[in-house]
Chains A and B, each alone.
Chain A
Amino acid sequence: RKEVEQDPGPFNVPEGATVAFNCTYSNSASQSFFWYRQDCRKEPKLLMSVYSSGNEDGRFTAQLNRASQYISLLIRDSKLSDSATYLCVVNREDSGYALNFGKGTSLLVTP
């Protein structure tokens, strides 16, 4: 089983739509969870950390379900500029601050 699994997509949605991405992780001891965004041929950039109580940053909402080892990202009112690959990232408890990355979910927002 892979450490972090995501639906690769692609998700094609019209502008203004709401889209949700899901992610599962295998290490129940993981303590830190993140969503990164990666544009084509660019480095990953931190979108948001994911907290146990869930958190929101503008149009983006992240949720964590530790019992199910499941993380989600909700994007409301999608913009063309949201088109990117979204990476689910989980820390590795056995290796300090090392991170495990999912393969990413591709999002294309169309006019």
Chain B
Amino acid sequence: SAVISQKPSRDICQRGTSLTIQCQVDSQVTMMFWYRQQPGQSLTLIATANQGSEATYESGFVIDKFPISRPNLTFSTLTVSNMSPEDSSIYLCSALRLGGQGEQYFGPGTRLTVT
């Protein structure tokens, strides 16, 4: 299975600022995703990070708020822009397992608190 790392693991930010989260996979993968897990909730997909093109966003998520980059097959970033306390959440990246049935492996997550 792919090993996925994320940086930072946690951060406390002031409202109105932005935070960029990095996701690194130890092998080339075709598809990468970004999820949010709010307290007591399950995971919600934010977007699919497409290599070399704009990300595909889910309903309720927009590029201006969550710009995503994926410059190559092993790396992606998610920026949480103009943060408010409602953005306090765990942000997780994932990668699609090659040759599987659609399983995804997850990074350890970034725990964000906005004050």
Contacts and interface: CB of A to CB of B under 8 A. Distances in A.
Interface of A: 31-32, 34, 41-46, 49, 87, 91, 95-99, 101-104
Interface of B: 31, 33, 41-45, 48, 56, 58, 92, 96, 100-109, 111
B31 A96 contact: yes
Contacts of B45: 98-99
A18 to B, nearest CB: 25
Contacts of B31: 96-97
Contacts of A31: 102
A96 B102 CA distance: 9
B102 A103 contact: no
A45 B106 contact: yes
Contacts of A32: 101-103
A45 B45 CA distance: 16
Contact of B108 (A43, A87, A101): A43
A97 B33 CA distance: 10
B109 A43 contact: yes
B108 A96 contact: no
Nearest to B107: A43
Given A98-B33, A98-B48, A46 B105 contact: yes
A50 B56 CA distance: 27
